[in-house]
Amino acid sequence: MKMKLALLFLASVFLSLTSFSQEDAVEQEDSQRQREDTIYITPTQEKIDIAILTAPEGFEVSESFNGYIDFQNGTAIVMSLLTSVNYIKLDEGMTDEFFKSNRLTLTSKEKIKTDEGTSGMRYTASFVLEEEEFIRQIVYIGNLNNTIWINITYPKKVQELMEPELVKAIASVKFKINKDENK
């Protein structure tokens, strides 16, 4: 009798495990089908007319990248347009892991608004290169579908002078989508 009960118990456990694994397989199949039916839009990075930002005094148009450079203070402003993505979605990717994998230490994160009223996010981080500390500002400004991406890098030693000028420059951004391939 005890042997029969043990066998029945084992059989019921086996059957329940089998039915759960079948349900899991069906759920996995449904999930896979849903993923295959999902349309993913991949953002693209494009050149943008750098005239959308009023650069601080001392900056000139770079010949090496799409943006401005200040040779005297070792500062660069690099700009791109990210299409098919908004800054809120980009913010989701600005995780501790992102900063760590890029060897950056996040020091601040803030919502911003340009003078014309376009919203965005500004992240300030630090990093060390050849024993000198630098500041990197990553700025996203945009609308529902497009985002202006601005990367600003400068030595920490000029932060006191550079920061207020960069805040003004970021606020000056005119959010119009002008992709000028000649600049």
Residue 50, classified by CB atoms within 10 Å of its CB into exposed (0-12), middle (13-18) or buried (19+), is buried
Rounded-to-integer distance, Cα 2 and Cα 17, Å: 22
Q: Using CA atoms, how far apart are residues 43 and 28, in angstroms rounded to an integer?
A: 28
Domain ranges of the chain: 1-40, 44-171
Give 44-171's CATH code, choosing from 3.40.1000.10, 3.20.20.70, 3.40.50.2300, 3.30.470.20: 3.40.1000.10
Side-chain-side CA neighbours of 121 within 13 Å: the count stands at 14
- Read off the pLDDT band of 40 (50, 70, 90): low
Average pLDDT estimate for 97-126:
97
Q: Closest Cα to residue 181, out of 49, 44, 45? A: 49
User: SS3 for 68?
Assistant: strand
How far, in Å, are 69, 73, 150, 174 from residue 19 at the CA level?
65, 68, 54, 60
Quick one: average pLDDT of 126-141? 97
Can you give the pLDDT at residue 144?
A: 93
What is the reported pLDDT for 42? 81
Higher pLDDT, 169 or 26: 169
Predicted pLDDT of residue 29: 56
Tell me what the mean pLDDT of segment 27-37 comes to.
56
pLDDT (mean) for 23-43: 58
**The predicted structure's pLDDT at residue 16:** 41
Whether pTM > 0.85 for this model: the answer is no
